[in-house]
Amino acid sequence: MTDDLEELKKKTSRDDRLSETEEDDEEDEVAYTPVEDVVLRENAEQGVKTLREQTERSGRVEGDDEPDEVQLSQYEELFEEESPVDDPYCGNCDHVTFRKHNGEPGPHCSFFDLKTLLESGMVCGDYEPQTHGGA
């Protein structure tokens, strides 16, 4: 067997893949069925929508009181840089230690970050899943 085939074999063989999966397990990675995907996605979308509405409402009030004050977002406080996306939070809670799906610190709470959080129990105590939408 040639070296590159040996390499492919090593990479795609059970022992090697298992060790990767075990590492993933430590990060509480989980597999999702399509139905769970949809439910989680709806939760995330609804959460973002709710947060946006809340932000718009509070923005109007705060804007009247202190028009010149610039508040750092939780993302900016945590990562000391501007969020690369418009809405960095999932909207379901104020928890900011979101991770990417691969377990690394992530720039924002994407759909998969939320899934990781939900399954790993890392969401804050205030969060309640909303399977039918609504905040």
Show the binding pattern over residues 91-120: x = contacts another protein (CB under 8 A), - = does not.
Answer: ----------xx---------x--------
Residue 104 corresponds to which amino acid? Answer: E
CA angle 63, 69, 75 (to 5 degrees): 100
Three-state secondary structure readout of the chain: CCHHHHHHHHHHCHHHHHHHHHHHHHCCCCCCCHHHHHHHHHHHHHHHHHHHHHHHHHHHHHHHHCCCCCCCCHHHHHHCCCCCCCCCCCCCCCCCCCECCCCCECCCCCHHHHHHHHHHCCCCCCCCCCCCCCC
When asked if residue 70 is in the footprint of another protein (CB under 8 A), the reply is no
When binding is defined by CB under 8 A, the residue of 26, 28, 32, 99 that contacts another protein is 32
When asked if residue 14 is in the footprint of another protein (CB under 8 A), the reply is yes
When binding is defined by CB under 8 A, the residue of 3, 26, 33, 121 that contacts another protein is 33
Q: How near is the Cβ of 46 to another protein at its closest, in Å?
A: 15
Q: How near is the Cβ of 80 to another protein at its closest, in Å?
A: 27
Using the minimum distance from each CB to another protein, give the nearer residue, 5 or 70.
Answer: 5
Residues that bind another protein (CB under 8 A): 2, 4-5, 8-9, 11-14, 17-18, 20-21, 24-25, 29-35, 37-38, 41, 101-102, 112
